[in-house]
Structure 1
């Protein structure tokens, strides 16, 4: 938080770090199971920033204020969760469709062929625009660092920078990046790359994913790629491409795993498997 100074710190993801659901007549708050949220929640607690995400819980709207915000964690609020609302059709086209039926198998090079539907692509673009508008409203006239998460938002960073080029925007891609020979099968390959090059910093898990990404950029766009510095220059803008092996909060997980309740469950499981 001290290093950020007067900069607002924002994280953007599809998955929200806390979800509100109805249990009878009571609203309860839980943390969804997610490697992404597990890794970034400690960062947000330390930075006291704002996390923008899709509100998927059946009681999420009941928990927010008039600006769609709620302080989290509920037991000791340390940062702000700003929820974005999507229709059923938007979720189906953006998340279930293009993100999970096209990008996911494409990037993982699975035996399941990617499904490229133009209707899903159009919804994907629409939802990226919805999130861009949410980010811009949240930032307003402030200085900000925006960290975009994952393959759901390949277009988001460029949309943000087109409106506010002075913002610092980075993105971490939580899944692999395929070889150029695989990636070029996507009908919207250039639009995706252009969107990702809206970032000042583009991060992947390992160097080989960075190399694959740079290969695609070099072959598909009229961009200058400096392999030694891992810098792409495209349409007058530069993007640094780097590997960032991500981790989880070990101390927190270790402490939770050492509770009496977990020990009892482990003992019961051992007896069952013995």
Structure 2
């Protein structure tokens, strides 16, 4: 307990920095670009705070250090733990299970044992860093056992957990051999946050079925000792740093880059855009199928319309992801081979990530944004597109299976499994009159600009503070 001195401790699989080695072999730390970092860094700079997480590379051990006003506590993972806890149980068991079994989950006892061990190590690091009566905020599906482990080690703590991905219906969740241990692990928290009300409802049903605890909307009664503890479980939909995306989009150099992008594409009448991690949950194959059929039907013409597909690399050591990349790239090649001309491509396919300034330029250049996720906790790309469109133009085609669809009601909502419906929405977007485009975009921007990521973190921490005061 000698090191226990921080009033707020954030625990996530990754630290908010990346270790970068330059050409000379000198290493340095750079702030990660993720939304969670953007949301929490301002809060953490103001508080006496620490962040517990993995450095992102196996076998490296570092002492705690400070970066950009935040105290960082690295947790080391061996190569075998990365394989079993992270690539295995987290991303080849939980990820597909929690995303409605779009790909089949794999259940291995060694993976589970590694998951338990790594969660224990994260919990120990957080317990060692937290001051008496501190608040600890644990994040995401990789660390679902940490709340219970923390509560057993430090009952004085106020503990929150936020699940960034969906929580599945009980009929799917019940397949997990360790379903009861996961639910019990999560119930160590005082406040459980989910992206959508349906996710919170799914979790409460799992609690009733597996543990028999009493629940009502937003509240679970957890037996503890001779009494009971109230756990809050409800939706806290995450958002983005909306103002920063708008500010970036207003920069003259970003606007010039957007014009250049359109010129490089041959100045088509309509630019469609997809931006995704290369993940089977994102519905990229469905999007390509619909687009290819529209070209084949003659409803869209190459030269008049182009699809830009950004597919950033993801989990390339997992077999399912390697197969998906092959499938997507074969489909892109076939469509380009069938429909491209010498001067115009049907699809501009980009298999790498881009900095935020380039993304803002792409958002400005795109007339139609396609978000066709088969299942997605939120999908922040949809909100980034809306925040970037300070010109109040552009159309968002959005899957009803993405959490963002709960808020962005003025998008063209689609079922990505319905290829004919997706095609109809794409054509409606292409042909939509300007007044309707602007009316829809204004409605979405009002929501995204008012409910940014700082509101999300403030709301969750306020709920957690009220819970700790009870």
Q: TM-score, normalised by structure 2?
A: 0.52
Cα displacement (A) at 1:7: 6.5
Cα displacement (A) at 1:24: 1.5
Question: Does residue 82 of structure 2 align to residue 91 of structure 1?
Answer: yes
Distance 1:258 1:89, change over 3 A: farther
For residues 230-250 of structure 1, the C-alpha deviation after alignment (integer angstroms, 9 at most, x for no partner) is: 233234333111210111222
Q: Do 1:19 and 1:60's aligned partners in 2 also have CA atoms closer than 8 Å?
A: no
User: What residue ranges of structure 1 are gaps of 5+ in the alignment?
Assistant: 1-5
SS in 2 for 1:11: strand
Aligned pairs, number: 258
For residues 20-53 of structure 1, the C-alpha deviation after alignment (integer angstroms, 9 at most, x for no partner) is: 2111123343333433333333332333411111
Partner of 2:115: 124
Partner of 2:43: 43
CA distance, structure 2, for counterparts of residue 7 and residue 71 of structure 1? 13
For residues 114-156 of structure 1, the C-alpha deviation after alignment (integer angstroms, 9 at most, x for no partner) is: 11111110000000011111112212x5331000000011100
SS in 2 for 1:143: strand
Q: TM-score, normalised by structure 1?
A: 0.86
Partner of 2:32: 32
CA distance, structure 1, for counterparts of residue 256 and residue 30 of structure 2? 22
2:124 aligned to 130, 133, 144, which one?
133
Cα displacement (A) at 1:60: 7.4
Question: Does residue 91 of structure 2 align to residue 100 of structure 1?
Answer: yes
Partner of 1:234: 223
Question: Does residue 11 of structure 2 align to residue 12 of structure 1?
Answer: yes
User: What residue ranges of structure 2 are gaps of 5+ in the alignment?
Assistant: 268-470
Runs (4+) of structure 1 exceeding 6 A deviation are none
Partner of 2:257: 265
CA distance, structure 1, for counterparts of residue 138 and residue 106 of structure 2? 24
Q: Do 2:14 and 2:53's aligned partners in 1 also have CA atoms closer than 8 Å?
A: yes
Cα displacement (A) at 1:158: 0.4
For residues 159-212 of structure 1, the C-alpha deviation after alignment (integer angstroms, 9 at most, x for no partner) is: 011011110001000011111111000000000000000001111011111111
Listed as ranges, the matches of 1:144-223 within 5 Å are 144-223=134-213
Who wins on radius of gyration, i.e. which is larger?
Answer: 2
Q: Do 1:177 and 1:209's aligned partners in 2 also have CA atoms closer than 8 Å?
A: yes
